[in-house]
A and B are shown apart, each in its own frame.
Chain A
Amino acid sequence: MEAIIDALPYLWEGIKVTAYVFVFAIILGFIIGLIMALFRLSPIWILNWIAKIFIDAIRGTPILVQLFFFYFGLNSFDFISLDRETAGIITVAINAGAYFAEIIRAGIQSMDKGQTEAARSLGLSGTQNMRYIILPQAFRRMLPTFTNQAIISLKDTSLLSVIGIADLTQQGQVVIAATFKAFEIWLVVGVMYFIMIYLLSLLSSYLERRFELR
């Protein structure tokens, strides 16, 4: 018990890093996903292809390989120097982005065609239709799937410890190296991840209620 209490300040530092990396990655990932989804649906074939290749490449390779590619691979060029956090955030963001892209694309495609027809018949442009009619409705519908992906991404951040980012997992390892209390510390680390994920799903159900489709 004492070992756990002594470990808490260290683990708390780790939680802060995990939260920071996660928040940045998920916001960036959402933006990437939205852009890629719109590319994917675009009639311009080159945009379409860019999105398709991006999505397939990311979904078809392990995230650990992507992490090594961004951190060690890119850093092997003289003119690139990514620090750990940046490489970590980029990896998780791009990974989330590829999945978000498919979620958003499916959400947009599942919208009733009549909505677009009504909007366009009123003289709204394609962009205005997306912005005011399609996306607001599609996002509400997608919220549960978004949450799922966000939870996966949060768990993915624990992989970043392998390149030495001082996240919760890494901090757990550091504490264990000093105390040899593997059982207690991994249990506590697990509980802490569980609490973060629980809070995330609470936030999601709040948003779902807040933006309920009337």
Chain B
Amino acid sequence: MTMIEVKNLKKSFGELEVLKDISVDVKESEVVCVIGASGSGKSTFLRCLNRLEDITDGRVIIDGNDITDKKADINKIRQEVGMVFQQFNLFPHKTVMENIILAPMKARGVTKEAAKNKAKELLAKVGLSDKAESYPNSLSGGQKQRVAIARALAMNPKIMLFDEPTSALDPEMVGDVLEVMKQLAVEGMTMVVVTHEMGFAREVSDRVLFIDHGLIVEENEPNELFSNPKNDRTQSFLSKVL
């Protein structure tokens, strides 16, 4: 079953055309990694998938709902699409527990009791049970990012989007976060991951998209793409990062 359907997606910021006709499908439980040089449009692509960016042209269909349709209930659709940011974006005035239970209570109408139980379960899953009452600023980067993942998962999303989730982390913290993501992938979560972690892409993803100047110039299963890149630009990018 197709979870994400992107058809001829275009995105411009004023005169600057950042995405120039992107089409791609992501199936249920599929893990897709997006790689490419800085400024190639990876984040913009990801942010179009939950309409954090207004879509200039083309269609994006999430689990059967066309989010480019003006009548689409975007808040409802976003509840099904979790997002994890490079800079974590935890709410600093709320405890870890409050960060996690806010959206389930206010957007989904879950009771506080139920939301808390779910939050405890998720904190255990990301290895942070003892941090429920801490404030985000007292956590390390790796811990913050795991809380951010738990916060997104608390909505029971069908899809998870990750935008360079480990890029702002100290090297020794990266492993913990990737481990949590790997676990999610194993459990069958549909994931789109923008990453510079080629090891992760290779090991965990089902498919890798290489974006260059707003176009998907090559896509393939990871082993093939990494060992046998067909496109010149993929080759030159990989030769720099591998």
Q: Which residues of A contact B (CB under 8 A)?
A: 112, 114-115, 117-125, 128, 132-133, 136-137, 140, 213-214
Known contacts: A128-B107, A132-B106, A214-B137. The answer to whether A121 contacts B93 by CB under 8 A is no
A117 nearest CB across to chain B (Å): 6
Chain B hits for A120, CB < 8 A: 52, 75, 78
For A112, list chain B residues within 8 Å (CB).
89
Determine whether the beta carbon of A132 is less than 8 Å from that of B102: yes
9 extra interchain contacts, Cβ-Cβ under 8 A, other than A119-B103, A123-B78, A214-B135? A118-B83, A122-B102, A122-B107, A122-B151, A123-B103, A125-B75, A137-B91, A137-B93, A140-B93
In the complex, which residues 93-116 of chain B have their Cβ closer than 8 Å to any Cβ of chain A? 93, 102-103, 106-108
Q: Which residue of A lies closest to B51 (CB)?
A: A120
Give bound CA distance, A138 to B87, whole Å. 19
Query: When A and B form their complex, which 6 residue pairs have the shortest distance between CB atoms, in order from nearest?
Result: A123-B79, A118-B89, A122-B103, A214-B135, A114-B89, A121-B83
Which residues of chain B come closer than 8 Å to A119, judged between CB atoms?
91, 103
Residues on B with beta carbons closer than 8 Å to the beta carbon of A125: 75, 107
B50 close to chain A: CB less than 8 A = yes
Note all chain B residues with C-beta closer than 8 A to A213.
Answer: 92-93
Is B152 an interface residue when CB atoms closer than 8 A count as contact?
yes
Residues 107-140 of B, flagged 1 when their CB comes within 8 A of A and 0 if not, give 1100000000000000000000000000101100
Q: Is B81 an interface residue (CB 8 A)?
A: yes
Residues of B within 8 A of A117 (CB): 52, 83, 85, 89
Interface residues of B (CB under 8 A from A): 50, 52, 75-76, 78-79, 81-83, 85, 87, 89-93, 102-103, 106-108, 135, 137-138, 148, 151-152, 155
Q: Are B81 and A121 closer than 8 Å at their CB atoms?
A: yes
Bound: A137/B94 CA distance, A: 10
Residue of B nearest to A136 (CB): B93
Nearest residue in B to A122 (C-beta to C-beta)?
B103
B79/A114 in contact, CB under 8 A: no
| B224 CB, min distance to chain A CBs, angstroms | 32
Among A122, A132, A140, the one with the most B-chain Cβ atoms within 10 Å of its Cβ is A122
> Closest residue to A117 on the B side, CB-wise?
B52
Asked whether B82 lies within 8 Å of A118 as measured between CB atoms, the reply is no
B106 x A128 contact (CB < 8 A):
yes
Report the bound CA distance from A214 to B108 in whole Å: 27
Least CB separation from B90: chain A residue = A118
Min CB–CB distance A135 → chain B (angstroms): 10
- Which A residues are in CB contact (< 8 Å) with B75? 120, 123-125
A138 → B minimal CB distance (Å): 10
Instruction: Give complex CA distance A119, B81 in Å.
Output: 12
A195→B242 CA distance, assembly (Å) = 69
B85: chain A residues at CB < 8 Å are: 114, 117-118
Partner of B82, one of A114, A121, A128, A132: A121
- Chain A residues whose C-beta falls within 8 Å of the C-beta of B93 in the assembled complex: 136-137, 140, 213-214
